[in-house]
Amino acid sequence: MRITSRSGGLLVTALLLAACGGGPGGGGRISDGGVTLAVLNDQSGIYADTSGRSTVDAVKLAVDDYRAKYGDKAVAKKIEVVSADHQNKPEIASSKAQELYDRQHADVILDVPTSSAALAVATVAKNKKKVFIDVGAATTELEGKACNKYTFHYGYNSYMLANGTGSEVTAAGAKSWYIVYPDYAFGQDMTRTFSAAIKGAGGTVVASDPTPFPNDNFSTFLLKAPTLDPKPQVLGTMHAGGDLVNLVKQYNEYKLRDKGIDLALGLLALSDIHSLGSDALAGTRYTTMWVWTFDDKTRAWADRMQAKLGKRPTSNMAANYSAALQYLEAVQRAGTDDADQVVKQLEGRTVEDMFVRNGTIRAQDHLLLHDAYLARVKPSGEVKEPWDYEEVVKTIPAAQAFQPQPDPACRP
């Protein structure tokens, strides 16, 4: 802020800049006296275990690590973490985002699972000229027609999931699929990308059906699967969180695997496996952005989170930690929390940490490119310790995991 008067204008300006941490040697300009990170996600519904309030703890841990790294040299002297529940509804997500930016002075909004909610927040971020780093939504529209200067897509998208699971399962011999998907932006986008990946690998989609969202009864679709002609080899579910847990339970109750129809998952979280028990999904392959047992770095961070949560963290929590820390590092480099300057520091940035391997934030569309993993769920007999449910089968290099070129529809 610059305020001048007829006399002593420069002195007043200098004092104000100093109060905000600016001026020569002052470490840059921080608005509103501090930096505010906002976590906007589902804290009471079907994605609460996947992310929810535990992600707020992950972001707070990132703040602690930023402070520990920079100490007195930190540009952001005062940092606050706030949160809100969007209830998986785009209209609520939009109003909450406006409130976070305007009333709570949020400098960045993080997470936002549910693609329809994420697209709504991206619009608010664009209009408010504030940074938004999405982690929890899969829609490729965030780096496509809905992309903008202030929105970043960090973690995974439907292309990554389909390119891993859809292509690999089909190439392994499961050529015919029946896809069921939640009837909103996430499910629709997942179905498009999975169908393309399946066909690209030489398979066919026998049928695809939308299901209500959220939903606790999938019997109509599970009973339909064996009656299709030709009968599909795979039931591909594009659901996540609580919906996925319900569908898998009913898939097992109807014994579709015994009827020759295997299960393939579009998206799976560690918390989902824990809810179901690993034997309910034993042998199932899926694509993921992070596994806590991958190496010493991932395990060490998971140990820190378990000390806070009393449980192992999901990949979504790990991604939000990384995104929050990258945002604070960008503020540090810029010397300010000014959104335009922070965006410049994020664009084209290489990232390597406990979450990201071989990462680059592509400048043209703000998509984080990084290694992804094809994993399988272990049967209980292979589980060596609590929460040890996942085994990495294959690393998918960053150059292959995501769209090789930016979407021409992206015009930030």
Model confidence pLDDT, tens digit, residues 191-201: 999 999 999 99
Model confidence pLDDT, tens digit, residues 148-192: 999 999 999 999 999 999 999 999 999 999 999 999 999 999 999
Q: How confident is the model at residue 213 (pLDDT cuts 50, 70, 90)?
A: very high
Whether 319 shows a pLDDT value over 70: the answer reads yes
Q: Are residues 353 and 259 in the same domain?
A: no
Q: What is the residue-averaged pLDDT of the chain?
A: 93
Q: Are residues 136 and 85 in the same domain?
A: yes
| pLDDT score, position 324 | 98
Within a domain: residue 412?
Answer: no
Whether 279 shows a pLDDT value over 70: the answer reads yes
Q: Are residues 90 and 139 in the same domain?
A: yes
Report if pTM > 0.75: yes
Within a domain: residue 409?
Answer: no
Mean pLDDT, residues 234-257 taken together: 96
Q: How confident is the model at residue 212 (pLDDT cuts 50, 70, 90)?
A: very high
Mean pLDDT, residues 244-272 taken together: 96
Q: How many domains does the chain have?
A: 3
Q: Are residues 44 and 75 in the same domain?
A: yes
Q: How confident is the model at residue 26 (pLDDT cuts 50, 70, 90)?
A: very low
CATH number reported for the structural domain that contains residue 140 in this entry:
3.40.50.2300
Within a domain: residue 24?
Answer: yes
Within a domain: residue 386?
Answer: yes
Q: Are residues 113 and 172 in the same domain?
A: no
Q: Are residues 379 and 279 in the same domain?
A: yes
Q: How confident is the model at residue 28 (pLDDT cuts 50, 70, 90)?
A: low
| pLDDT score, position 252 | 96
Residue 8: give the domain boundaries: 1-31
Whether 6 shows a pLDDT value over 80: the answer reads no
Within a domain: residue 407?
Answer: no
| Percentage of residues in the chain having pLDDT higher than 70 | 93
Per residue, the 3-state secondary structure of the chain, as one string, reads CCCCCCCCHHHHHHHHHHHCCCCCCCCCECHHHCEEEEEEECCCCCCCCCCHHHHHHHHHHHHHHHHHHHHHHCCCCCEEEEEEECCCCHHHHHHHHHHHHHCCCCCEEEECCCHHHHHHHHHHHHHHCCEEEECCCCCHHHHCCCCCCCEEECCCCHHHHHHHHHHHHHHCCCCEEEEEEECCHHHHHHHHHHHHHHHHCCCEEEEEEEECCCCCCCHHHHHHHHHCCCCCCEEEECCCHHHHHHHHHHHHHCCCCCCCCEEEECCCCHHHHHHHCHHHCCCCEEEECCCCCCCHHHHHHHHHHHHHHCCCCCHHHHHHHHHHHHHHHHHHHHCECCHHHHHHHHCCCEECCCCCCCEEECCCCCEEECCEEEEEECCHHHCCCCCCCEEEEEEECHHHHCCCCCCCCCCC
